[in-house]
Amino acid sequence: KTGRSPRDKRVVEESATVDDVWWGPVNKKLSAESFAANYERAANYLNTQDHMYVFDGFAGWDPRYRIKVRVVCARAYHALFMNNMLIRPTAEELENFGEPDFTIINAGQYPAEESADGMTSSTSVAISFERRQMVILGTEYAGEMKKGVFTVMHYLMPKAGVLSLHSSCNEGPRGDVSLFFGLSGTGKTTLSADPARLLIGDDEHVWTDTGVFNIEGGCYAKAIDLSAKKEPEIFNAIRFGSVLENVVYDEQTRAVDYSDRSITENTRCAYPIEYIPSAKVPCIGGHPKNIILLTCDAFGVLPPVSKLTPAQAMYHFISGYTAKIAGTEEGVTEPEATFSACFGQPFLVWHPVKYAQMLARKMQEHNAHVWLVNTGWSGGSYGVGKRISLNYSRAIIDAIHSGELEKAAYTNYSVFNLQIPQAVSKVPDRLLNPSDAWTGNPEEFSSTLAKLAQLFQANFKTYADKATPDIVAAGPQL
């Protein structure tokens, strides 16, 4: 497979965790008996192979919270991938590794038994917190292992009283830390790989009483249309030891064609974080000063940047609006409006409001500024407008980090009641207000804006009963 299979993810229903898990479409129940059958099926397959690979590594740079992870698989590609994505132990740490806290059994070349209880296809990605195991059948997409570890940490960290986040993170020369939230394709990895700032991590973090730490030891970047000019840090990280996935290359010269979409849009590269020259190792930083919520608006009506109040920050964090980008999941061939709670719903284990409440406390305690940044369409909806230039998005992020936007003059953007800066260095003024940038007629713009507002309102009904009145009121008003 060329992408994750969220419909095939299962969590075992167990007495120790049954009251913690947010059951439903994200976390579908699997019986302990079915999990045991899957484990046996995977183990039997692995035992028939001529070669088996085992990698031991850590998840979490803070020794107080890290867990020991063992990966058992039949493909060298999978072992190398997790060598890059987990934190690689020193020789001494490996010698004293002991028993793992969690084990991944990857028999992805072998299908699940479709007729078995709890199975809906030949693919199964199942987690048992009680057995501390993850079993993969019927998919060789390496990203399932990476996100499986994150799902485990997304359960264990809040249970330990610290906040796990689907975010990238970097640090400025003055020690100022920024968190970037956003689903795949919103620019999270790209915008956090900034040569002027130290990269703490590109995807998964934990916010503790002392600051933030990266869960991973590597980066997993999208490679479609990658070039040295557009994304030099990521392009130059592709060298011996990196893993390229789903790409097309010339078998004679071994040159990769990063523009080739014939396999999938979801071309990827996994590399150790130290392959980024500006990486900060150990990957630990202080408390965030700026929190940037990235969205890819396919309707073309959200501003490229807006400043959020605390209530708006919670509303948009819980909503997690973006557009699914082609290739990240099977069957998605063009951007499609979606809401993903906490900008990472497929990986949540607890109810979204638990993560939101923990984030609200952290933001208040450390007086963090929150920004909504749209890296999607401007001038019209998908198919009519154009994707906002990466150079403009970078300029906006630079203006946040320099403090320019803290001091800027703002105007109110109706319906969503967002505060839009009147000017941003190196960004055309006309682009800052979606109504000014719109190339169609005003009536079409108003109806499109209203349509998106209604989608927000309908989605938030799921969470309204657990949200405070000020958070509910921070949403769009028609």
Catalytic residue, from 4, 75, 78, 401: name it: 4
Active site residue 190: no
Residues 6+ apart with CB under 8 A from 264: 2, 3, 246, 327
Alpha helices in 86-139 (DSSP H): 91-95
The CA-based angle 395-426-410, given to 5 degrees, is: 85
Asked if 145 and 5 touch (Cβ cutoff 8 Å), the reply is no
Active site residue 139: no
Distance CA 120, CA 172 (A): 47
Distance CA 247, CA 115 (A): 34
> What count of other Cβ atoms lies within 10 Å of the Cβ of residue 414?
11
Expressed in angstroms, the distance from the first to the final Cα of the chain is: 42
Catalytic residue, from 124, 167, 184, 319: name it: 184
Tell me the three state secondary structure of residue 306.
strand
Catalytic residue, from 146, 268, 280, 307: name it: 268
Nearest to 340 by CA among 318, 320, 317, 366: 320
Catalytic residue, from 10, 70, 188, 307: name it: 188
Residues 6+ apart with CB under 8 A from 402: none
Active site residue 194: no
- CA torsion angle for 468, 470, 475, 478 (degrees, to 10)? 120
Active site residue 203: yes
Asked if 204 and 150 touch (Cβ cutoff 8 Å), the reply is yes
Tell me the C-alpha to C-alpha distance, in Å, between residue 455 and each of 39, 314, 426, 452: 41, 17, 32, 5
Catalytic residue, from 203, 295, 378, 401: name it: 203
Catalytic residue, from 189, 208, 295, 393: name it: 189
Active site residue 131: no
- Give the helix, strand, coil percentages of the chain, each rounded to 5: 30, 25, 45
Catalytic residue, from 9, 66, 88, 147: name it: 147
Active site residue 147: yes
> What count of other Cβ atoms lies within 10 Å of the Cβ of residue 72?
19
Q: Which residues are marked as active site?
A: 4, 147, 166, 184, 188-189, 203, 268
